[in-house]
Structure 1
């Protein structure tokens, strides 16, 4: 096991240099008690403002869509990007919902589909690698799923210790927290029959990665951690998605059937993983995090796909 320990409150958190963090989290808490309808429309409005101000992020999102869906027209991409920013603004409020809402209020807004899959694997004593993508509503989706079936959350510590403390408390209400670099602990929990949440859809750099197709991009830098965790932890890979439905205030977590015969070879596993990632994203592409440079790492000799951005 690792030396990682959960963040705890310290008197130093009361230093004036953290005042902005306390005010920000305080606003999140107060906003979380507003009616959902109010948070929904104010969040989307904030997203439209972000779309106007964050020109570089708009270009990155548009470039990602052009790379992944070359058949999409510029007008359709522009509409998708604008909707994506509206979802990004709403995500700020959904974070407060996830951290501060009581259990009954979370459950009121959630439908879980395919939970029997996880319960059956639990009865068999099988560890599960729950593969997700970075949907903009993943924060509240994770809370919704954890109220039904807790797991192990892969956790990235924040450099701001006060925010890190709030973030950990909010995300790990029902889950065990593990540092994302703590591979040994993840494997340990999988061997013990736990469910470990894992999002392999970002570009994490060359270390422990390979280049596999993702949508129309032939060489997408893809972590090999999925294969490592699955086979070292004797686990079953189960993808799941979180989608905000058209009906106001309703979210659906869909748990897919297990991926059988998951490859041990790293590149083959990355190909299968990215196919699952594509399927999850396409359930609500406007709700996916297109704002980051997903294809920033290129094979040796290939130029940047974000030249000029």
Structure 2
């Protein structure tokens, strides 16, 4: 069992001077949240470009990942795609603020955030839920990871799995910010709660696509090169008999969003973790090729 369970309650220890920098940052972000949505989109792009220029290591990681995934691109195109990716990262900062402090916190019936999103193939989600088998809503790591949880919460209840932050105050703030009336985060180390959620016929939000080096890793091709991968989706499906539903969010240029529910993954699990994970990788790749700038390229997916 991981020694950092989710921090669900405020601690007076968070007032210690070592946390003051975090509180100042949160206060500054809270002020920025007061800007109009169009201004946030514009400023987010500027912040993203600034981050790209200041963080050489992240910039080079993103470029190397993009270069590998899209070998057909020349260096100029790689630079342009990298810049768009960092702009998307900058916007994601304001998307997180929207999740933490948005109108939905006060206006339950018709919050501003509902006007930003539309849904495709939602009947697929309804059919999966009607089976009462439990649903893994599979959401790969795009820059829109935070806000897709909010948009999903407008249509259903779910328990998104997240990695506890090493800093206890940040862990508390993130968990609190992502907790809604029908959305309760689960630590990725709480496997028992995940299984219980699915066996109860509920929805689990799952993001298993990043580099995985822990016990049980398997090496499976991703964009043609072996990547250390987590077979947990296959394991959970084997243990619970749940439905696996790939779900993607696209941020359009006009600031609107589209949540798209794909058909449930067929013949899953197959009993072969490698083949199951390879099948998921192919689904991710297709979505990434359709929306490359918004995938999370700043983390190295490959073991190199």
Aligned to 2:159: 152
8 Å contact from structure 1 (residues 70, 216) kept in 2 = no
| Structure 2 stretches lacking a partner, 5+ long | 105-110
8 Å contact from structure 1 (residues 133, 281) kept in 2 = no
1:292 and 2:294 matched: no
Aligned to 1:36: 37
Cα distance in structure 1, aligned partners of 2:6 and 2:65: 37
Alignment of structure 1 residues 40-79 onto 2, 5 Å: 40-79=41-80
Q: Secondary structure at the match of 2:185?
A: strand
Cα distance in structure 2, aligned partners of 1:292 and 1:101: 28
8 Å contact from structure 1 (residues 117, 255) kept in 2 = yes
> How far does residue 289 in structure 1 lie from its aligned partner after superposition?
0.7
Aligned to 2:121: 114
Q: Secondary structure at the match of 1:41?
A: helix
> How far does residue 156 in structure 1 lie from its aligned partner after superposition?
1.6
Q: Secondary structure at the match of 1:176?
A: coil
| Structure 1 stretches lacking a partner, 5+ long | 297-303, 305-309
1:210 and 2:218 matched: yes
8 Å contact from structure 1 (residues 2, 184) kept in 2 = no
CA shift digits 1:214-268 (9 cap, x unpaired) = 1232x1211111110111121111000111012x220111111111211221111
Deviates more, 1:77-86 or 1:167-176: 167-176
Alignment of structure 1 residues 1-309 onto 2, 5 Å: 4=5, 6-103=7-104, 104-173=111-180, 174-217=182-225, 219-246=226-253, 248-262=254-268, 263-296=270-303, 304=304
State the superposition RMSD in angstroms: 1.7
CA shift digits 1:43-101 (9 cap, x unpaired) = 11011111111111111111111211111111111110111111111111111011110
8 Å contact from structure 2 (residues 40, 94) kept in 1 = yes
Cα distance in structure 2, aligned partners of 1:97 and 1:31: 11
> How far does residue 281 in structure 1 lie from its aligned partner after superposition?
1.7
> How far does residue 280 in structure 1 lie from its aligned partner after superposition?
2.4
8 Å contact from structure 2 (residues 2, 189) kept in 1 = no
Deviates more, 1:14-23 or 1:42-51: 14-23
8 Å contact from structure 2 (residues 6, 175) kept in 1 = no
Count of residues paired in the alignment:
295
> How far does residue 5 in structure 1 lie from its aligned partner after superposition?
5.5
Cα distance in structure 2, aligned partners of 1:28 and 1:240: 29
> How far does residue 6 in structure 1 lie from its aligned partner after superposition?
4.8
The normalised TM-score by structure 2 is 0.92
